[in-house]
Chains A and B, each alone.
Chain A
Amino acid sequence: MKLEHDLRLQLVRVIGGVPMVKCKSVVCFVVFILMFSWFMDACFAVDKAVADEALIDAENDLVSTYVAVEEAEQVGANASELLAKLKFAGNLLADAYNAHRVGDYDKACSYAMNCSDRVKGIASEAAGLELEAEKAYSERLFATAAVSSAGLSLLLVLSLFGWRILKRRYFKRILGMKPEVGKAE
């Protein structure tokens, strides 16, 4: 009888091959995970104010980058690569605003921060390209001005010599002409 009771007790403790103690710890673990995820959401959820701030920062970053790239383009810098990055960041900012409009502040914040990250350093790169382009412009201007000056100087000298020769020829031709004598009436 005792042996049968012991066996039954053992059977109750083992459910589906898992001892009762293990089963309890699994339940506790699951509950802990659920609560943790709930608290995680509560702790790390982005509220509207944070998203707003991220959007403003991203907007300012994008605008300052745009101004730098535009200035670089104006002086003739090849900013194609920077422009591609700027376009991508622009799409991210639009996505951030769109997510904000539908109330998805997590996504809005994430997109806005991604936008700020993407444009980081572009303004300084653009400034570098602008300086390079200005330098290249100055060099080109100097080279063409030098060639033009040399050409003009040569033209001045040749034209003076040419004028002397042409003048001499002109007078020679005039003096060499036979005077026509009109018939006396």
Chain B
Amino acid sequence: MRFEDFKLLYMFSCVGLGLIILSPTLAVVIKLPGGERFSELWILGPSHMAEDYPFNVSGDKLYKVYLGISNHMGGLKYYRIYVKFRNQTDPLPDMVNGMPSDLEPLLEYRVFLRHNENWEMEIRFSFDYDIEGNICSVSKLVIDGYALDVDKVTEWDEEKGGFHFQLFFELWLYNASVPSFRFYDRFVWIWLNMTSARAR
């Protein structure tokens, strides 16, 4: 081995050893960027699986679903979930422009979650509705003990065969720099057909 090569090898070995000695301090000072930051929102059926969602509903029964959020945003976050109810003509959130639905929320939940923490809640609901001819009008929606006046009307859907309504949940995230809640561009829903047990 030539002397210059030997010298270079020795220098690299010393620098490497120096970095190893310095690594505990570097670990304290340097904060490596985490992975992708996002929040999850999900809805599960009564068996706690992504199946058997309530669809054909009747006025005299209580239904349940599980609603959940997961935080992967890298820190403590403050969420708000709006519960909304629509017929087939009411607006849904605009996913392209990130705008929430114009409908007034019926109910809300507030959740604080740390990084990698989950929140899940059992949501029980029932309906009070009337069917007259081709018209179905839902007057009340009871969620978690709150009797809410909804007054939603829909016509018989010839194509799909039913009176269809949608119960959906919007996820909002608190933004401290604005400072206010902003729609987080995520929502989950279940379709409900109000014809069961009151067949035409």
Contact = CB atoms under 8 A, between A and B. Distances in A.
Interface of A: 62-63, 66-67, 69-70, 73-74, 83, 86-87, 90-91, 93-94, 97-98, 101-102, 137, 140-141, 144-145, 147-148, 151-152, 155, 159, 162-163, 166, 170
Given A66-B174, A102-B148, 20 more contacts: A63-B174, A66-B112, A83-B76, A87-B111, A90-B110, A90-B112, A93-B110, A94-B109, A101-B105, A101-B107, A137-B28, A141-B25, A144-B25, A147-B25, A148-B24, A152-B21, A155-B18, A159-B14, A166-B6, A170-B3
Interface string B113-137: 0100000000000000000000000
25 contacts: A63-B174, A63-B179, A66-B174, A69-B76, A73-B75, A73-B76, A73-B114, A74-B76, A86-B112, A87-B111, A94-B108, A97-B108, A101-B105, A137-B28, A140-B28, A141-B25, A141-B28, A141-B29, A148-B24, A148-B25, A151-B21, A151-B22, A152-B21, A170-B3, A170-B6
A69 B114 CA distance: 11
Interface string B66-89: 000000000110101000000000
Contacts of B25: 141, 144-145, 147-148
Contacts of B148: 101-102
Contact of A148 (B21, B108, B109): B21
Contacts of B17: 155
A83 B75 contact: no
A67 B176 contact: yes
B114 A144 contact: no
B75 A74 contact: yes
B112 A87 contact: yes
Nearest to B21: A151
B189 interface: no
B176 to A, nearest CB: 6
B106 interface: yes
B78 A155 contact: no
Given A63-B174, A83-B76, A98 B146 contact: yes
Contacts of B106: 101
Given A83-B76, A144-B28, A170-B6, A98 B18 contact: no
A162 B9 CA distance: 13
B5 to A, nearest CB: 11
Given A63-B174, A145-B25, A155 B14 contact: yes
Contact of B18 (A62, A70, A140, A152): A152
Contacts of A91: 110
Contact of B176 (A70, A137, A159): A70
Interface in B158-200: 174, 176, 179
Interface in B15-53: 17-18, 21-22, 24-25, 28-29
Contacts of A155: 14, 17-18, 21
A140 B176 CA distance: 30
A140 B29 CA distance: 10
Contacts of B108: 94, 97-98
Contacts of B14: 155, 159
A98 B123 CA distance: 14
A102 B111 CA distance: 21
B147 interface: yes
B2 to A, nearest CB: 10
